[in-house]
Amino acid sequence: MNEYSLRRLINDGKKNIFNVSIPLDALIKNDSVESDERKMVVFLGDNFMDLPGTDLGKALRITNQCLDYIRRECAGYDLYYKPHPKPNMEKNEIGRLDLSGFKMESGILAELFYIQNIKKIKYVFATCSMGSITAHKMGLNSYSFLNIVGTSFASETLKGKIEAFSGMPSEFFINSFDQPLRENRRNIGSDTTMEERLCDIFSQKQGPVWLLTDVSALVDAIAIATLIKKLEPEKTVNLISGKHNRWNLIPTEDVTVYFDNTFFVPRVFYSLRPARIWESIKYALKVKKIPIKQDDVILHIPGLGFGSSCFVSYFRKSMHVNMLTRDTFSISCEKQTYSKNLFRTRPGAIFFSIILEPLLGVERTFYLEDKRRIFNVSRYVRPINDIFNYVWIY
C-alpha cells in the first residue's frame, strides 16, 4: 500500500476528554484603547526557502505587491516588518524586498510582540505565516495573502498550506490586491470552561503547576499562567520549554515575569546518530531528577515531544493534562491515512519507538515527517486518554 493507515487511539470507555478555551481574555482585558487609536501595522516575513518546490523569485515579487497593498490601505499608520526568525532570511528575503516606509522589528518573537503591544496594534498581515492565525486568535485584525502568494508554491505544498489554514474565516484572506481592507477582529469574550476545569483539578491536587510547552505555544502558556494566578495567587506556576533557537529572539525577563520558575531543556531529535541517542538518554535521566511531586499538576501544551513523554511516564502519580488544538487532536488520535508520497518515517523514529523508548520506560510514540514541511504527525501508540488523566481540546 502507498499510504500509512493509522487507527483511532481514543478509549471511549473513559469520559476524560473535554473541550476548553484558552483564556486569552486574561491578556487583553481592560483594553481601553479604541480601534481608531491603534496606529501599529505589522507584516510578518516568511521563509519560502523551506517550502519545497517554491518559485522563490515569484514569491518575493508577490510579497512586494503585498507590501504595496499595505502601504496603500494603511496610509498614515506606523508600519513594522518582522522578519522570519530563520537566520538565512536576512540575506535571502529582506534584501529583495521593498521595505520603504517600514520599520524593522526583529528583536522579539511575534507572539510576545502581540502581547506587549495588544493595545497598539491595528492590523497584522502575512503571506502565509502561522503567526497571522495567532494574531487573529488574540482578537487582532489579521490577514493572510495565502491565496495570492500560493500561486508560487508547488501544488502539494499549497494544498498543505490551505489545509493548515482551513479553520480561518473567509474575511481573514485577501484574495486580490483590489480588495478593500475591512476589519475582521473576533470578539474575545470571557469563557469559563478552562477556569472550571482548573478549579476541579486544584480540588484534587494542591501542588505546583508545571506548564510543558514549546515556544510556538508561548501565548497559550502565558494566558493559562495568568488565569491560574487569578484563581490562586499563591499557586506556584513553573514553565518548562524546549531550547528552540526562537528563544534567542526573546528577552528572558519578558517571559519569566509570568512564571515563578522557568526551565529550559534541550530539544530531542529522532535520530540514529550515537551522539543524538546519548543526548536523549541523558535527557530522560535528568527529567527523572526534577522535583515533581505526587500532588503536582502537569499541563502538557503541544511542542515538547519526547520530553512530554518522559514527564508523563516518570511521574505517573502526578496529575497530567494533555492540551491539544482541535486539529492536532484529530491528527494525533483519530483514524487517519497519509500518503507515502507526502509523508515518511525515518529510521531514527522507528528506533526510538521500538527500542529506545521501551528501554527508558517512556511511552512509545509513532512519528511521520511531512516532506512538504507543513505539519508532522506525532502519536502515542496507546490511546491518549489512557496515558493522561485528562485531555483538553481547544
Q: What is the CATH number of the domain that holds 165?
A: 3.40.50
**108 and 85 inside one domain:** yes
**12 and 52 inside one domain:** no
**Does residue 216 lie in a domain region?**
yes
Span 151-169, pLDDT tens digits? 999 999 999 899 889 889 9
Q: Which of 145, 172, 199 is the last residue of a domain?
A: 172
> Is the pLDDT reported for residue 215 higher than 90?
no
**165 and 225 inside one domain:** no
**Does residue 204 lie in a domain region?**
yes
**102 and 147 inside one domain:** yes
**Does residue 183 lie in a domain region?**
no
Question: Is the CB of residue 132 less than 8 Å from the CB of residue 144?
Answer: yes
**161 and 243 inside one domain:** no
**116 and 43 inside one domain:** yes
> Is the pLDDT reported for residue 32 higher than 60?
no
Q: In which element (H, E) is residue 131 found?
A: helix 131-137
**254 and 353 inside one domain:** yes
C-alpha dihedral sign at 316, 319, 325, 330: positive
Number of independent structural domains in the chain: 2
Q: Which of 109, 144, 172 is the last residue of a domain?
A: 172
**209 and 234 inside one domain:** yes
Average pLDDT over residues 64-74: 98
Q: In which element (H, E) is residue 242 found?
A: strand 237-242
**360 and 278 inside one domain:** yes
**196 and 143 inside one domain:** no
> Is the pLDDT reported for residue 33 higher than 60?
no
Question: Is the CB of residue 304 less than 8 Å from the CB of residue 215?
Answer: no
Name the residue range of residue 49's domain.
Answer: 28-172
Question: Is the CB of residue 372 less than 8 Å from the CB of residue 8?
Answer: no
**Does residue 33 lie in a domain region?**
yes
Q: Which of 164-173, 248-257, 307-316, 377-386 has the lowest mean pLDDT?
A: 248-257
- What secondary structure does DSSP assign to 309-364, as a single string? HHHHHH-TTSEEEEEE-HHHHHHHHS-EEEETTTEE--HHHHHIIIIIHHHHT---
**281 and 389 inside one domain:** yes
**Does residue 153 lie in a domain region?**
yes
Q: Which of 104, 138, 172 is the last residue of a domain?
A: 172
**200 and 307 inside one domain:** yes
> Is the pLDDT reported for residue 149 higher than 90?
yes
Higher pLDDT among residues 90 and 184, named by residue:
184
Span 223-269, pLDDT tens digits? 999 999 999 999 999 999 988 776 766 777 888 899 999 998 888 99
What is the predicted pLDDT for the residue at 136? Answer: 94
